[in-house]
Structure 1
Amino acid sequence: MTYSWDFMPVLRHLDMLALGLVNTVKIAAVSIVLGVALGLVLALMRLSPSRLVRGPATAFIEFYRNTPPIVHFFWFFYALPVLADISLDPLAAAILALSTQSGAFYAEVFRGGILSIERGQWEGARALGMSRGQLMRRIILPQAVGRMVPPFVERSFELTKTTALASTLAYGELLYQAMQVNSQTFRPLEVYTVVALLYLVLLASASALARLAEQRLTAYR
């Protein structure tokens, strides 16, 4: 059987897909910012010499690294409102799921970058009388950032692709909008081909910007 491709019905609903793309970028950007902040806190906790501080961070990270992302979406949307007697819309639930999950992975990126700094620099800073906070701010983190860019970019790409799971909560990101377009056009091959191309353009553009940032950081160092 020869399939006859026809993108015109999909192009007539391009405004719906554009809205989905905007919503995807919005949820990804907010989740990345929150995830990075949470990841830094968790990484510093994991590096603490105190077991009382290190233990909860380790448990949090291991939980998120070993459970499926879709479970987190459902838990925040269906379970948390029951436990906390609150109401969460799909956007808030999706952001909570994505930012906490990504925070666990960003934490390992931070920890790896921090531990990659040569031991002599830690000892030299301590010999100068720096506190742990000063050591991190002035010596360790500025050097570690450049080394962390590639894994940060990779994790952020994974987070952006995982935003598609928000469609299970009826949040209007790109995949959800694509399903709405498909229900009106009955052209699944064309609809999901366009969606794949939109993801490709989005992530390829972000990758180019990340490479430029990495080159700038390398030149600065």
Structure 2
Amino acid sequence: MTYQWDFAPVLARFDLLLYGLLNTVKIALISIVLGVAIGLLLAFLRLSPKRILSIPATAFIEFYRNTPPIVHFFWFFYALPVLMNVSLDPFVAAVLALSTQSGAFYAEVFRGGIVSVEQGQWEGAKALGMGRAQLMRRIILPQAFTRMFPPFVERSFELTKTTALASTLAYADLLYQAMMVNSETFRPLEVYTTIALMYVVLLVAASSLARVAEARMTAYR
């Protein structure tokens, strides 16, 4: 028996999927911004010659790199409230999980970009009397940024796809909304095909913008 595709019930509830898509974009953008801040801090701490700073930063990074993302979601939503005697809604718990996890991965992207700058440029800037902060701001980071941009974009895409795990906390992201639509329409093939295409459109559009940004950065080098 040939399956009869029918997208009409799904399209009738497409507004619910769009709401989920907007929530996915919102949580991804907030987590990227926070993750970048965390990642920069961790990268500088890991590069510090002081072991009291570099060792905890390295431990944090390795912990997040070697544990499943869903564990972080469950820990912030179920465990942290017990530990801190606070109540977190799904959005806050998901943002904490995503931003700390992405921060650990961004830290390695940033660290790799910084250490890739030739040693001679470090020594030349120091010979000119630049302090470490001035050296980073004027010499190292501008060069490192163009080198770290592609892996940074790739990591941001991975984060965006990982937002789907927020549905396990009953956060109304795209996947959660799709599950709600499916429970009403009983058309799983159409529902999950639709959201797969929505993810593709979102990330292809973001990828196109990233390529334009990278091309402009390369042109101004």
Q: If the length of structure 1 is used for normalisation, what is the TM-score? A: 0.99
The letter for the 2-side match of 1:73 is: F
The percent identity for this pair of structures is: 78
What is the rounded CA distance, in whole Å, between the counterparts of 1:130 and 1:95 in structure 2?
Answer: 38
**Structure 2 gaps, min length 5:** none
Cα distance per residue 1:37-92 (max 9 Å; x no partner): 10000000010001000000000000000000000000000000111111110000
Q: What is the Cα deviation at residue 192 of structure 1?
A: 0.3
Cα distance per residue 1:7-36 (max 9 Å; x no partner): 000000000000000000000000000001
What is the rounded CA distance, in whole Å, between the counterparts of 1:94 and 1:151 in structure 2?
Answer: 23
Q: Where do 1:99-114 residues align within 5 Å?
A: 99-114=99-114
Q: Name the residue aligned to 2:21.
A: 21
Q: Where do 1:168-207 residues align within 5 Å?
A: 168-207=168-207
Cα distance per residue 1:171-200 (max 9 Å; x no partner): 000000000000000000000000000000
What is the rounded CA distance, in whole Å, between the counterparts of 2:160 and 2:136 in structure 1?
Answer: 29
What is the rounded CA distance, in whole Å, between the counterparts of 1:195 and 1:111 in structure 2?
Answer: 35
- In the alignment, structure 1 residue 118 sits paired with structure 2 residue 124: no
SS of 2:49's equivalent in the other structure is: coil
Q: Name the residue aligned to 2:154.
A: 154
Q: What is the Cα deviation at residue 130 of structure 1?
A: 1.0
Q: Name the residue aligned to 2:40.
A: 40
What is the rounded CA distance, in whole Å, between the counterparts of 2:185 and 2:106 in structure 1?
Answer: 40
The letter for the 2-side match of 1:129 is: G
Q: Name the residue aligned to 1:77.
A: 77
SS of 2:10's equivalent in the other structure is: helix
Q: Which range moved further: 129-138 or 22-31?
A: 129-138
What is the rounded CA distance, in whole Å, between the counterparts of 2:130 and 2:77 in structure 1?
Answer: 45
What is the rounded CA distance, in whole Å, between the counterparts of 2:21 and 2:189 in structure 1?
Answer: 18
Q: If the length of structure 2 is used for normalisation, what is the TM-score? A: 0.99
**Structure 1 gaps, min length 5:** none
The letter for the 2-side match of 1:219 is: A
The letter for the 2-side match of 1:107 is: A
What is the rounded CA distance, in whole Å, between the counterparts of 2:133 and 2:38 in structure 1?
Answer: 17
Q: Name the residue aligned to 2:136.
A: 136
Q: Name the residue aligned to 1:88.
A: 88
Cα distance per residue 1:192-220 (max 9 Å; x no partner): 00000000000000000000000000001
What is the rounded CA distance, in whole Å, between the counterparts of 1:85 and 1:55 in structure 2?
Answer: 29
Q: How many pairs does the alignment contain?
A: 221
What is the rounded CA distance, in whole Å, between the counterparts of 1:137 and 1:89 in structure 2?
Answer: 38
The letter for the 2-side match of 1:207 is: S
What is the rounded CA distance, in whole Å, between the counterparts of 1:98 and 1:199 in structure 2?
Answer: 18
What is the rounded CA distance, in whole Å, between the counterparts of 2:72 and 2:178 in structure 1?
Answer: 23
Q: What is the Cα deviation at residue 131 of structure 1?
A: 1.0
Runs of at least 4 residues off by over 2 Å: none
The letter for the 2-side match of 1:168 is: T
SS of 1:133's equivalent in the other structure is: helix
What is the rounded CA distance, in whole Å, between the counterparts of 1:169 and 1:159 in structure 2?
Answer: 17
The letter for the 2-side match of 1:87 is: S
Q: Name the residue aligned to 1:57.
A: 57
Q: Name the residue aligned to 2:9.
A: 9
What is the rounded CA distance, in whole Å, between the counterparts of 1:101 and 1:212 in structure 2?
Answer: 27
